């Protein structure tokens, strides 16, 4: 009965994960449609508009965004037990790519958050704190799997994925603040609330990841001893 109950909860978790990943995909498409014409023509939008920083600084912005999308979408496969059990070699190879993409995206997340934050110091603080935490989880996850500690590797990668998925929840909070009238993306009004969205979303995701790791089912001893080689 307990296992059936957990299976139902796990399906619910995957539904939420899918929705948030979809939100990130939609906003990635919006960014491309909105920013690419300005980047190609060199015509900058208003300096107080949200898209200004993406058009004015496309290299750091998209070196953060594109690898971040690769990490987020690839992690959906990596965290699937079915994918790992059926395609272990592919899991290892994809893991190498995703760790590299995640590290690149995480470093640039801090750079973008410090260099040209739309939400001011509030966003800068969140980008620095959670960007560094994301990088730490990736490094420790990589180290764990090189020691063949699959359980620790899995836990650190869940933590990393939770932070990456927080991008979707940030957009949800931005939408809430726009609806209540305290944030306007197009003219920069109420921009500090954009930074507040970062804190609310990412604190929630870090906390939920820890809760999941505490109450979720533990892999058995045989699975923990599986030799995975040096690859992530």
Question: Position of tokens 């994925």?
Answer: 161
pLDDT (tens digit, 9 = 90+) per residue, 30-58? 999 999 999 999 999 988 888 999 999 99
pLDDT band at 6 (very low <50, low <70, confident <90, very high): low
Among 2, 15, 31, residue whose Cα is nearest residue 171: 31
Task: Kindly report the average pLDDT of the chain as a whole number.
Answer: 89
C-alpha span between 184 and 162 (Å, rounded): 27
State the Cα–Cα distance between residues 87 and 127, nearest whole angstrom.
Answer: 34
Residue range 142-170: mean pLDDT, rounded: 95
Summarize the confidence of residues 152-177 as an average pLDDT: 96
Around Cβ 34, how many Cβ atoms within 10 Å? 15
The confidence band for 65, taking pLDDT boundaries of 50, 70 and 90, is very high
Q: Are 53 and 61 in contact (CB under 8 A)?
A: yes
Four-residue CA torsion sign, 10, 14, 16, 17:
positive
Task: Give, rounded to a whole angstrom, the gap between the first and last alpha carbons of the chain.
Answer: 34
What is the C-alpha separation between 66 and 17, in angstroms, rounded?
19
Q: How much is the pLDDT for 226?
A: 43
> pLDDT higher for 216 or 103?
103
Q: What is the average per-residue pLDDT within 120-134?
A: 96
Instruction: Classify residue 35 as exposed, middle or buried by CB count within 10 Å of its CB (0-12, 13-18, 19+).
Output: buried
The answer to whether 215 and 140 are in contact (CB under 8 A) is: no
């Amino acid at each position: 009965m307990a296992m059936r109950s957990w299976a139902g909860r796990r399906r619910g978790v995957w539904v939420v994960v899918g929705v948030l990943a979809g939100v990130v995909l939609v906003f990635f498409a919006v960014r491309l449609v909105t920013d690419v014409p300005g980047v190609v023509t060199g015509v900058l939008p208003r300096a107080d508009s949200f898209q200004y920083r993406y058009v004015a600084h496309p290299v750091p912005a998209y070196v953060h965004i594109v690898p971040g999308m690769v990490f987020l979408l690839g992690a959906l496969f990596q965290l699937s037990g079915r994918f790992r059990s059926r395609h272990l070699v592919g899991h290892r190879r994809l893991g190498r790519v995703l760790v590299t993409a995640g590290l690149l995206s995480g470093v640039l997340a801090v750079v973008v958050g410090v260099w040209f934050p739309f939400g001011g110091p509030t966003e800068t603080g969140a980008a620095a704190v959670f960007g560094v935490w994301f990088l730490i989880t990736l490094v420790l996850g990589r180290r764990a799997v090189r020691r063949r500690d699959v359980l620790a590797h899995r836990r650190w990668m869940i933590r990393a994925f939770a932070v990456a998925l927080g991008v979707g929840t940030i957009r949800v909070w931005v939408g809430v603040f726009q609806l209540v009238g305290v944030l306007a993306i197009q003219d920069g009004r109420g921009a500090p609330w954009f930074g507040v969205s970062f804190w609310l979303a990412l604190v929630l995701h870090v906390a939920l990841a820890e809760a999941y790791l505490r109450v979720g089912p533990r892999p058995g001893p045989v699975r923990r001893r599986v030799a995975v080689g040096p690859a992530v």
